Amino acid sequence: MRELPQGLTPPRNGDEIETDHHLSRRAILSGAGALALLSAAGCSTSDGVLPALELDDVTTGSVRPIRPSISVDKNITSPGVMYAGLTDGGFNVPEVPYLKVKPEFRRQIVVDTTGEAPGTIVVHLKERMLYLVQPGGDAIRYGVGIGKDGFRWSGRANIQYGREWPTWTPPPEMIARKPELVKWQAGQPGGLTNPLGARALYIYQDGKDTGYRIHGSPEWWSIGQAMSSGCVRLINQDIIDLYSRVSKKNPVVVV
């Protein structure tokens, strides 16, 4: 316990000891005066910290963000809008019950983590995701279905061309496995039951057809699954969106 200065009457119950109050007030006024003198003399450190009270006067606006903000895209809206029914090419594409599709597999804008150049299509087989890399650090991500074990392809290639409501021609080896497909050996016309769906993007490597496609599918429930014969499938509404964003020769990376 510290002693009272001489000449001061000990406080009665309810009285305040003002010694510390006066000292604190004098210290504050003294500090404020010193700060005013330093300011008048133009004294500040090069890093924006005032030495008297060690206050940081750097504004938050001068701090660079880690990355640009997520972009806004008129075609990336609520799932109810993106997966609504639509008429396309004379076909009535049914709406997708998106609540039955896992949220991560719905079309959305995400931070690009692929490291690829804008315009590149990146398919992550393990994630069951397709990324279309955008300028500025973003990517549009779509959920996909992929090939079963033994039917997958990976590597670097490019989109040679695309087709709207494409004809599907099963390869001879598929007909051998499923003889009922012989009726389509000359090609199944495009339509709502066509396995290629509303759009198809044809993957070529070194000028040669790989036989693999990025395409739509009426089987929305297969997204996120490994059940195709090697191609990458999207919900019909998603492949229509993706198709509208790509052009001939877009790079494709399947990993």
Catalytic (active site) residue 215: yes
CB atoms within 10 A of CB 94: 15
- Rounded to a whole number, what is the largest CA-CA distance in the chain? 114
d(CA 210, CA 201): 12
Which distant-in-sequence residues (6+ apart) come within 8 Å of 57 by Cβ?
44, 48, 49, 50
Phi, psi of 37 (to 5 degrees): -65, -40
Q: Nearest-CA neighbor of 146 among 168, 128, 127?
A: 128
Catalytic residue among 21, 43, 124, 215: 215
Which distant-in-sequence residues (6+ apart) come within 8 Å of 76 by Cβ?
82, 107, 108, 109, 140
For residue 69, CA distances in Å to 105, 112, 248 come to: 22, 12, 29
Catalytic residue among 22, 43, 124, 231: 231
Q: Nearest-CA neighbor of 93 among 193, 223, 232?
A: 193
d(CA 239, CA 181): 25
The label of the residue with tokens 């087989």 reads: 125
Catalytic residue list: 215, 231
